[in-house]
A and B are shown apart, each in its own frame.
Chain A
Amino acid sequence: MQPIQLVFLFAAALILWAAFMMVTRSNLVHAALFLIVALFGVAVFFVLLEAGFLAVLQVLVYIGAIAILMIFAVMLTRGDVIEEEIVNRGFGWALMLAALFCFGLIILVGQWPGVNEAAPRIVESRDLIQELGVQMFAPEGYVLPVEVASVLLLGAIIGALVVARPQKKEK
């Protein structure tokens, strides 16, 4: 077994463990912290796939921004919710549905011919990110989706502010 496979197995185990811990915690902040561990494991995956840029984005955006936002959201709720036992009546159904999806995905991916081929080795360098930039912004590339993404983010900021802004007090 190659060392890189060991790292992969370790990261996979870490993600599964953290994800399991996350959904079973009754303390919401603990759940958020475990989510961060799982997200970090995904960043390790990106590194193993030689996608350093995505790994860094994963940490910067998911751990640095989204997870923080989640903890803030938890803190804004009332604290007394937290210690209560969480009982979900749909637990059995959820488990079955999740198992179904999981096996379905395994079967679907197993039928894909590329699953047993080794991925082509990417020589990552300064040029790779440059290539990404060209693809994203060149007219023959993906410039329209990128601009639409920017409009989407504008929509997100407006929507978020409309929802989250406290009601103005009547004078």
Chain B
Amino acid sequence: MNFWENPIGFIGEAIADLMRSLHIGPEVINFVITLLSVVVVASFGLLLVIFLIWLERKVAARFQDRIGPNRAGPYGLLQTFADMVKLITKEDSIPEKADKLSFNIAPILSVVAVLLIWAVVPFAPAWIGTDLNVGVLYIAAVGSFGILSILMAGWSSNNKYALLGAFRAVAQLISYEVPMLITLLVPVLLARSMGMNDMVRDQSTWFIVLAPLAGIIFLVSSIAEIGRTPFDLIEAESEIVAGYHTEYTGMKFGLFFAAEFLHAFTVGVLFALLFLGGWRGPGAEQYQLLGVFYLMAKASIGYFIVMWVRSTLPRIRIDHMLALNWKFLTPASLAILIITAILEKAYGETSARIPALLIGNLAVVLVSWLVLRAASRKTKRERVTFKKRPVAKPA
């Protein structure tokens, strides 16, 4: 095995050889190697957060015609470290009426929920934490720990605003999980597998070409899942203080914060894996590091869109948010699933696969556009009228 082709595999093999020469049993070696790879994957995720927070602040600043952090270190790169030191040395106050145990577990659970997704992410052909055969469903399942952490945080704070924020958050997250699960079915159907690496290997044509609409719906519902603008009703500061983490201080607040940033990038990674071909690219099969580079580059596309939307759109109202989900995204994703299934069975093996699926997607877009236009004509808008008031006129 060449070092440059697969550095991590090379080092892992070397460690295993070393242990074998010390006459350590194969089961123990297996355990130690697994443990080491877990530490590598998990710390990669957490180190990424430090960089991401800087990146997001820089990009958000550019959108607002500012410079962003530029004092701590070159280009402000050390800003996040300064923030971390600040957060760690801040007093950690637990409100008297809080439910102590749930209050302390909730921020940890929120980080765990996001980090667990990285266990099944294939960084490169040979670099995947663990290639579960139910990878896609696993990703959806660990998301439910995130929902749980929000509910625990909101309830245990014993604060009206925190509880209200948690309720809003959970209503939003579970609602948007429906179109997300349905659109996850589309790449599963195209790849005939739930394993994440199978999914990437099957994308000789990227799935965004075969299922553009599913990709868009997935991205929209993912933005809602991370609670970013325009779906940031979860922490609408003008209405409910700071939402479910109102009572959190210091590092515990920092953990919620870190989990949210990591989740935003993870959405980009998932979008890249499911729709943009993951690690695929010239030379990636041979040089693993290139695969990681391609994946990160593609993930940045989704991440950039998330930041872009955040800087552009205002917050939407809660009834609009729920109506968008249940009355538009869910029916549209079901329609696209049915169309994809029928066309895939009919043209899946032929050369007409790509045009057929593209036309199917276009048809769904057209029909939903017509339906929306008809619906918007039917809804009566209330005209805001005022009483005639005397106006002072110049004599």
Contacts and interface: CB of A to CB of B under 8 A. Distances in A.
> Do A and B touch directly, given a CB cutoff of 8 Å in the complex?
yes
Interface of A: 3, 29-30, 33, 36, 52-53, 56-57, 59-60, 63-65, 67-68, 71-72, 75, 124-126, 128-130
A64 B143 contact: yes
Given A29-B155, A75-B167, A126-B195, A63 B134 contact: no
A75 to B, nearest CB: 7
Given A59-B141, A64-B143, A68-B151, A129 B134 contact: yes
Interface of B: 27, 99, 102, 132-134, 137-138, 140-145, 147-148, 151-152, 155, 163, 167, 170, 174, 177, 192-195, 198
A65 B144 contact: yes
A124 B163 CA distance: 43
Contacts of A68: 144, 147-148, 151, 170, 174
Given A65-B144, A126-B195, A52 B133 contact: yes
A129 B147 contact: no
B141 to A, nearest CB: 4
A112 B172 CA distance: 48
A60 B132 CA distance: 16
A124 B141 contact: no
Contact of B134 (A53, A65, A67, A130): A53
B101 to A, nearest CB: 9
Contacts of A60: 137, 140-141, 144
Nearest to B151: A71
Contacts of B132: 52
Given A67-B148, A68-B151, A52 B141 contact: no
B223 to A, nearest CB: 19
Contact of A126 (B137, B140, B174, B198): B198
A27 B151 CA distance: 16
Contact of A56 (B138, B151, B174, B193): B138
Contact of B142 (A53, A59, A75): A59
A38 to B, nearest CB: 14
A52 B167 contact: no
Contact of A63 (B148, B192, B193): B148
A3 B31 CA distance: 11
Closest 9 CB pairs of A and B: A64-B144, A60-B141, A59-B141, A56-B137, A56-B141, A56-B134, A52-B134, A53-B134, A126-B193
A65 B141 contact: no
A59 B144 contact: yes
A124 B130 CA distance: 14
6 contacts: A56-B138, A63-B141, A64-B141, A64-B143, A64-B144, A126-B193
A29 B106 CA distance: 14
A164 to B, nearest CB: 14
Contacts of A71: 151, 155
A140 B132 CA distance: 29
A59 B132 CA distance: 15
A129 B174 CA distance: 26
A86 B238 CA distance: 40
Nearest to A67: B148
A33 B174 CA distance: 18
Given A33-B152, A129-B134, 14 more contacts: A52-B132, A52-B133, A53-B133, A57-B137, A60-B137, A63-B141, A63-B145, A64-B147, A67-B148, A68-B148, A68-B151, A75-B163, A125-B133, A126-B195
Given A68-B151, A126-B193, A53 B137 contact: yes
Contacts of A57: 137, 141
A128 B194 CA distance: 12
Contacts of A126: 133, 193-195, 198
